[in-house]
Amino acid sequence: MSIEAFHQDILQGIPKVIPAKKEYELSINHAPKRKAILSRDEKKLALRNALRYFPKEQHAELIEDFLNELETYGRIYMLRYRPDYTMFARPINEYPGKSEQAKAIMLMIQNNLDYAVAQHPHELITYGGNGAVFQNWIQYRLTMKYLAEMTDEQTLAMYSGHPMGLFPSHKEAPRVVVTNGMMIPNYSKPDDWEKFNALGVTQYGQMTAGSFMYIGPQGIVHGTAITVLNAARKISKANETIKGKLFLTAGLGGMSGAQPKAGNIAGCISVTAEVNPKAANTRHSQGWVDILINDLDELCNRVRIAKEKQEVVSIAFIGNIVDVWEKFDKENIFVDLGSDQTSLHNPWAGGYYPIGISFEEANEMMANNPALFKEKVQETLRLHAAAVNKHTAKGTYFFDYGNAFLLEASRAGADVMAANGIDFKYPSYVQDILGPMCFDYGFGPFRWVCASGKPEDLAKTDEIACAVLEEMKKRSPEEIQQQMADNIQWIKGAQENKLVVGSQARILYADAEGRMLIAEAFNKAIEKGEIGPVVLGRDHHDVSGTDSPYRETSNIYDGSRFTADMAIQNVIGDSFRGATWVSIHNGGGVGWGEVINGGFGMLLDGTKEADRRLKMMLHWDVNNGISRRSWARNEGAIFAIKRAMEMEPNLKITVPELVEDALVDGVFEKVTG
Ligand SMILES: NC(=O)c1ccc[n+]([C@@H]2O[C@H](COP(=O)([O-])OP(=O)(O)OC[C@H]3O[C@@H](n4cnc5c(N)ncnc54)[C@H](O)[C@@H]3O)[C@@H](O)[C@H]2O)c1
């Protein structure tokens, strides 16, 4: 399609003439049929809700089609309105519009729906099984039209994918404010998502899906590589390395697909089980996993060879993870590191597949007999945990990978509770690794996208970022030397590791100072014309963006991990400090009602204004979380916030006084006897 036709298609918004129905393409990975949850009256409401986007005279023609979609898929996606042009992040100057910032947002939206990037592109799902960019194609079309028409004196308010409209604002305000799945707290049970999403009034934005900041599995490779590397460091004896160690896990989907690549980068042997052959083949064809195997005996043989030769190799097993844990136990194959990244935040709608039935049967059962499906999932979870327990008894280090595995396993009655009956037997990766080693010091998944779409711009930004970090490392304190070294190694290998899927994007863990210095250097390079504009952002899975008691904030021990003040403060603070767009979500990685998470996007255009904004916003965006982690008495965060105050005299933080354990323990005897 020509650029003119592309512009026209965007500017028309909702087509005047109803387009012909589209074929259901079987070659595309589709979302599973959602649970049939609406009553007849509620279905009528869903239809009324869908039809309010269209002129009255079209209602009679559309209503049957929409009811068919509701009955067939459990949702109204308005599939006939899916545009005909190819969906991908075009260079920023190819978008129509009056605002560069709005064009940057269009680029990011299209990247989230790119077939190479999105998990279920036709259902507007980017990752995580239900992480939606929009609820339906009309919301997409309307949003793109608003973005193409808006000026820098307006802000677009987006309610769970629905563009409420443009409101007058000002240049320094965000161009878009996104809220996804924000519910009255009592209406935040998993079935509330099913119902209100089917009604068309809310959506599950996951983290970077509904905030247009997803950059494919690269986004998570870096964090996963750091996690695997540090997990191996944790269990290694002196002079031992990760070489020859076996990492067993599951999931080759949106984010989990990063695991084999991260295993290779960290330098170990990895086995990743995946029940969906399409997902496994996609990751294999993209070069994210080295070998595909679908026979358990063959798998055992291959792993034995890899161990013997201390190979760095990633193996995908097409089948159920529970079978692998059980088989490796029987065959006495020692697993050094174990985890799981099936989508257990979404256990009843395709996130986790039970053993004993085929993938197709499972898909059929979850839609037509959800009660039996739930039983099967819970039974599998009990077996899953039992098999893992056998391995950990032999010395495997198992950690929860932020996918609600331990939470759902405990709810299924699996043997995963610690002796005190309150905690889990196994740590989460944030409790043991990412929290104390990264987040408490401000290190988190900073990222950027070169809006020119040019690979050479990305290469240039890699060089700039590397030079900044190397300079910083020379004067970094001992406490963060290992972090700095790991991140420098990552950025040096980034080009060679061919991580780009979709937009020209890069992720790099950095602390507040690192993020500000890197962004400042990018802005200067843009001003000099060395590179085109750059979009900054981060994963929501970060120092300050996410309150999630079993994941991002699982290493907060002052009782406040069940509060969500930090994430809300963060997004409000970002919005008035210069973010180009902000977003706040209910849901995210561990499930609806289990987490509040937010993020931002910021366009760097080489101007003085961008320089001012980036410094002000990035400083807050990281130090907000460090101050909260410090107030929770986390040692690393107390160190980091004191250091931040020395560097910025305008930062004045309330620092906790530590109480002697003996005093607290002893007081009961004195007072209550
Ligand atoms: N570790 C992290 O840093 C991190 C970060 C964010 C999210 N997560 C969590 O990890 C989970 C996975 O995310 P995703 O985007 O990859 O989701 P996804 O749904 O795209 O992928 C999960 C994959 O697991 C497969 N699967 C399900 N049950 C299985 C089983 N029993 N055996 C083998 N394979 C099975 C599915 O077919 C699917 O392809 C989510 O819950 C997510 O929230 C982890």
Write the pLDDT tens digit of every residue in 195-254: 999 999 999 999 999 999 999 878 788 889 989 988 988 888 888 889 999 999 999 998
Residue 498: which pLDDT band, with cuts at 50, 70 and 90?
confident
Provide the β-strand partners of residue 279: none
For residue 542, pLDDT beyond 80: yes
- Per residue in 562-603, pLDDT tens? 999 999 999 999 999 999 999 999 998 888 999 999 999 999
Give Cβ neighbours of residue 507 (< 8 Å, ≥ 6 apart): 215, 218, 219, 221, 222, 223, 445, 446, 447, 539
Where does residue 168 fall: left (phi above 0), alpha (psi -120 to 50 degrees), or beta otherwise? beta
Pairwise CA distance, residues 399 & 277, whole Å:
26
pLDDT at 516: 98
Q: Above 80 in pLDDT, residue 522? A: yes
Inform me whether the pLDDT recorded for 128 exceeds 90.
Answer: no
Print burial letters for 402-416: b (CB count within 10 Å at least 16), e (below 16): bbbbbbbbbebebeb
The two three-digit tokens of residue 475, written as one number? 């004067």
pLDDT of 152 > 90? The answer is: yes
- Length, in residues, of the chain: 673
Tell me, what's the pLDDT at 426? 95
pLDDT, mean of residues 492-513: 93
Residue range 508-525: average pLDDT?
A: 98
Q: Contact, 126 vs 214, CB < 8 A?
A: yes
Q: What integer pLDDT is reported at residue 147 of this predicted model?
A: 98
Give distance in angstroms: CA of 401 to centre of ligand 1. 9
Residue nearest to atom 31 of ligand 1 (CA): 353
Q: What is the pLDDT of residue 6?
A: 98
Task: Tell which atom from ligand 1 comes closest to the C-alpha of 320.
Answer: 32
Question: Which residue, judged by its Cα, is nearest atom 25 of ligand 1?
Answer: 251
Ligand 1 midpoint to CA 506 (Å): 22
Burial of 652 (0-12, 13-18, 19+ CB in 10 A): exposed
Whether 50 and 76 have beta carbons less than 8 Å apart is answered as yes
Nearest to 306 by CA among 283, 273, 335, 329: 335
C-alpha dihedral, 160 to 564 to 516 to 255, nearest 10°: -60
User: For residue 44, what pLDDT is reported?
Assistant: 98
User: Mean pLDDT throughout 381-386?
Assistant: 98
Mean pLDDT of 438-444: 96
Residue nearest to atom 39 of ligand 1 (CA): 253
pLDDT at 381: 98
Q: Which helix (H) or strand (E) holds 278?
A: helix 277-285
pLDDT confidence of 499, banded at 50, 70, 90?
Answer: confident
Query: How far does the centroid of ligand 1 lie from the alpha carbon of residue 257, in Å?
Result: 8
* C-alpha of residue 276 to centroid of ligand 1, in Å: 11
Q: What is the DSSP string of 182-211?
A: ---GGG-SHHHHHHHHHTTS----TTTTTT
Mutate to test the pocket of ligand 1, among 125, 256, 272 (most ligand atoms within 8 A of CB): 256
User: In this structure, which amino acid lies at residue 629?
Assistant: R
Structure tokens at 673: 């006897």
DSSP letter (8 states) at residue 162: E
Written as six digits, the tokens of 553 are: 């904030």
Instruction: Indicate the DSSP class of residue 428.
Output: B
Closest residue CA from atom 38 of ligand 1: 253
pLDDT for residue 524: 98
Calculate mean pLDDT across residues 456-482.
Answer: 97
Does residue 642 contact residue 655 with C-beta atoms inside 8 Å? yes
Residue nearest to atom 1 of ligand 1 (CA): 401
Give ligand 1 pocket residues (Cβ under 6 A): 119, 127-129, 220, 223, 250-256, 273-276, 279, 320-321, 341-345, 351-353, 401-403, 541, 589
Confidence of residue 408 (pLDDT cuts 50, 70, 90): very high
The reported pLDDT for the residue numbered 115 is 94
Task: Using the mean position of ligand 1's atoms as its centre, give its distance from the Cα of residue 64 in Å.
Answer: 35
Could you tell me the two tokens for 325? 């844990």
User: Ligand 1 atom closest to Cα of 119?
Assistant: 20
Q: Which ligand 1 atom sits nearest the alpha carbon of residue 352?
A: 28
**Taking all residues of the chain, what is their mean pLDDT, rounded to a whole number?**
96
Terminal alpha carbon distance of the chain = 81
Element (H, E) at 499: none
Q: How does residue 268 score in pLDDT terms, banded at 50, 70 and 90?
A: very high
Per-residue model confidence (pLDDT) at position 402: 85
Reply yes or no on whether the pLDDT at 673 is more than 80: no
Reported confidence tier of residue 276, pLDDT bands at 50, 70, 90 = very high
Give me the percent of the chain exceeding a pLDDT of 90.
Answer: 89
Query: Can you give the pLDDT at residue 234?
Result: 85
Show the tokens assigned to 2: 């020509």
Mutation test of ligand 1: which of 29, 227, 255 has the most ligand atoms closer than 8 Å to its C-beta? 255
459-468 pLDDT tens trace: 999 999 999 9
pLDDT digits (tens, 9 = 90+) for 645-662: 999 999 999 999 999 999
Residue 83 has pLDDT above 80, yes or no: yes
Residue 329 contacts residue 300 (beta carbons within 8 Å): no
- Cα 642 to ligand 1 centroid, rounded to whole Å: 38
Instruction: Calculate how far, in angstroms, residue 343's C-alpha sits from the geometric centre of ligand 1.
Output: 4
Q: For residue 111, what pLDDT band results from cuts at 50, 70 and 90?
A: very high
Angle at 454 between CA 453 and CA 456, to 5 degrees: 155
